[in-house]
Structure 1
Amino acid sequence: MFQKLISYVEDIKGSNHSSGAALVIIKDNKIVLEHYSGYHANTANSRLVDENSQFNIASARKSYLGLVIAYALYEGKMNSLDDLATQYFENFDQELLGKTTIRHLVTHSHGLHQRADGTIFREFEPGEGWAYRGINVVMMTELVNRLYGKSFPELLEERVFKPLGLKETAWQMERNGKLVQVIDDPSEPASYTVGRTNDGTESNLHTSAREFALWGNLHLNNGMQIVPEEVIQMATQVQGPPNKNKDWPQNGVFWYVQGTPALKSELGERVPKGSYQILGITGPTLLVIPEYNIVVAKMYNKRYNYGGSNYLHYLREFSNIVADTFRRF
């Protein structure tokens, strides 16, 4: 029953020149599929991808940051998603922040952008548009690290990773044989993408496909008595301001959430309402469909998703195939 999904993963792997791929599916809290193929890099004698291979998940780390933001709200470190950002970013240009709220920052509706020279400017007024930018991730990372007096990866290690038994999920600072290298240009050798720090400020979070799926399963099961249910619900339910353009996607705390299907959402129109997904530029995708009690973790190691400006089509199509597969379960 999974052959269509496996074939799709393999087809995109080839089309996008990824050297490796992985697919793990959890249904009713049991792993029902593990598929691994290819190599850790596009160079000779590279290691085969297997269950211990750890992929760089790039901006899919936002789901990990999102959980800590939800924790901070739950524990009163912040009062509300509707708190003005000026309350927390005193050294930021207050006039530029204006009426930006925490809600705007975690749902990509803040309107801030950054030039190559570091200058921050405003593209649109808070809540008046939607755009995926990196400045809000940087701001919220710095904020939660400051609010807790420690890095959010440290907090996750204490509160989530250890209780959940995760041992292959970490912000990596040194190369090792389990790390899958990242391909930027298919004509050039892949490279390790480790960081200078493990405080969550860099894109060096690596995890295995199995533990990526377990991260999704934690959310599917409302925290599994490890994380308060209210924290999970806050992170994975629609939190964005009312969309003035019905084509815009809907977000929880960084997660993409299926409300009314939207043209610019990465979730396909056949995916049930209440499902949620996170994506990274190196190809990892984590899809959770509560209605079918499933989690799907898909991994690649190539920067930029196949399809160029039409990449959303392929993301939506994959999630639609998943929905079609389990609708008949």
Structure 2
Amino acid sequence: MKEIEHRAAELISWVEDIKDKNGSSAGALFILKDNHVVVEHYSGRHSHEKDARNVQADSQFNVASARKSYLGLAVSFALYDNYIESLDEPISKYMPELDPKMVIGTTIRHLATHSHGLHIDEKGNWYREFEAGTGWAYRNIGVEILTELIQRLYRKGFPQLLEERIFSRIGLKETGWRTEPSASLVNIIGDVTEPSLSGLGTSNDGKEKNLFVSAREFALWGQLHLQKGRMNGEQVVPPQVIDLSTSIQNGVYHDSSLPDNGLFWYVQGDARAKSEMGERVPPGSYQILGVTGPTLLVIPSLNVVVAKMYNKRYNYGGEDYLHYLREFSNKVADLFTDSQ
């Protein structure tokens, strides 16, 4: 136990070092092992302003693109509920207004695994970077299309769907698409000389990047997946829904260095050079992150869930971001593998 505590202290020190190097005002680290809290760390303030609130257990961070894991589960629900027949159905079947020449050959699977090849230029025009299924590129257009798809299928946004089916059932109160100011919300930081941003949206339908989550509830979101949808003695989500979301769903790429994905989650199969998970992270692990620095890592083989939070846009900085993400996940894997 003392060895784990020592190694955990080193991990916290690493998290703090990155926070300071990149100018985040806030940081948090929350780790569950065997469904028990083994690390709970909070530091800094909600912004760089002198009177900003200190980061606490109920502080909610804007998780930016990590919200894709929530959308991914909604897509998995749509398949389970027979609203869609297969991930390999063309998106044009459900959204016929899309330019048929542009989306030809593009399936729901492609959209949920960043392998659709669609992009938008500075003037808002769609164009194709590569043939669907042949490559990988992190583009938000796939998220926008699938958000609209869920809205049409269920006649409600995916946040409302998840609130009804999951959040209310397991008692999540510090998770939501925020439209009103609150003392518990952590601001988004840019350069230290720039005013911070609230990160609030105008609606809670999931179409904006205004999902705020506390570190402890971010970890519970990971724990829900780790436990195959079972929480507090109840099967909240069918295990098939979880399995679909967190297993590799993309096809084989020409470039073997490209990362594998479940439904938006990065999934560890064979270690990939361009994956955000390091080579020492066990197969079957999965991770999601956002541009403001939040990272949720789930390692089923070690029964570990890690929620790490920051509030700085492009927190890891430029082209080095993969290095830092891989280093962190390797450190987590080492901590719990060596303690087995």
1:320 corresponds in structure 2 to 330
Deviation at 1:298, TM superposition (A): 0.2
2:236 is aligned, of 217, 226, 229, to: 226
1:272 is aligned, of 282, 290, 304, to: 282
Deviation at 1:84, TM superposition (A): 1.1
* Superposition map of 1:7-86 within 5 A: 7-86=13-92
2:146 corresponds in structure 1 to 140
Secondary structure of 1:296 counterpart: strand
2:220 is aligned, of 214, 230, 234, to: 214
Secondary structure of 1:80 counterpart: coil
1:248-269: CA deviations, max 9, x gaps?
A: 0000000000001111100000
TM-score norm. by structure 1 comes to 0.99
1:242-285: CA deviations, max 9, x gaps?
A: 12211100000000000011111000000000000000000000
2:295 corresponds in structure 1 to 285
Deviation at 1:116, TM superposition (A): 2.1
Cα separation, 2, equivalents of 1:306 and 1:239: 27
| One-letter amino acid matched to 1:14 | D
Cα separation, 2, equivalents of 1:328 and 1:123: 43
Secondary structure of 2:306 counterpart: strand
Cα separation, 2, equivalents of 1:155 and 1:130: 29
1:189 corresponds in structure 2 to 195
User: Does the alignment pair 1:127 with 2:137?
Assistant: no
Cα separation, 1, equivalents of 2:249 and 2:315: 26
Misfit runs of 4+, over 2 Å: none
Cα separation, 1, equivalents of 2:277 and 2:132: 24
Equivalent pairs, count? 329
1:306 is aligned, of 305, 313, 316, to: 316
Whether contact under 8 Å (1:172, 1:206) holds in the other structure is yes
Cα separation, 2, equivalents of 1:93 and 1:328: 53
TM-score norm. by structure 2 comes to 0.96
Whether contact under 8 Å (2:225, 2:242) holds in the other structure is yes
Cα separation, 2, equivalents of 1:65 and 1:199: 11
Cα separation, 2, equivalents of 1:303 and 1:265: 20
Q: Which runs of 5 or more structure 1 residues have no equivalent in the other structure?
A: none
Identity of aligned residues (%): 58
Cα separation, 2, equivalents of 1:253 and 1:126: 16
Whether contact under 8 Å (1:25, 1:294) holds in the other structure is yes
Cα separation, 2, equivalents of 1:20 and 1:180: 8
1:205 corresponds in structure 2 to 211
2:159 corresponds in structure 1 to 153
1:237 corresponds in structure 2 to 247
Deviation at 1:145, TM superposition (A): 1.0
1:250 is aligned, of 260, 266, 274, to: 260
Whether contact under 8 Å (1:249, 1:264) holds in the other structure is yes
Whether contact under 8 Å (1:172, 1:205) holds in the other structure is yes
Cα separation, 1, equivalents of 2:253 and 2:319: 22
1:178-236: CA deviations, max 9, x gaps?
A: 00000122211312010011000000000100000000000000000100000000000
Whether contact under 8 Å (2:268, 2:282) holds in the other structure is yes
Secondary structure of 1:18 counterpart: coil
User: Does the alignment pair 1:94 with 2:100?
Assistant: yes
Deviation at 1:237, TM superposition (A): 0.1
Cα separation, 2, equivalents of 1:88 and 1:313: 39
Cα separation, 1, equivalents of 2:18 and 2:158: 33
Deviation at 1:118, TM superposition (A): 1.3
Cα separation, 2, equivalents of 1:147 and 1:123: 28
What is the root-mean-square deviation in Å for CA atoms of aligned residues? Answer: 0.7
User: Does the alignment pair 1:113 with 2:119?
Assistant: yes
Deviation at 1:32, TM superposition (A): 1.3
1:99-119: CA deviations, max 9, x gaps?
A: 011111100000000112211
2:271 corresponds in structure 1 to 261
1:71-96: CA deviations, max 9, x gaps?
A: 00111111101111111121110111
Secondary structure of 1:110 counterpart: coil
Cα separation, 1, equivalents of 2:197 and 2:89: 41
Secondary structure of 1:325 counterpart: helix
Deviation at 1:9, TM superposition (A): 0.4
| One-letter amino acid matched to 1:292 | L
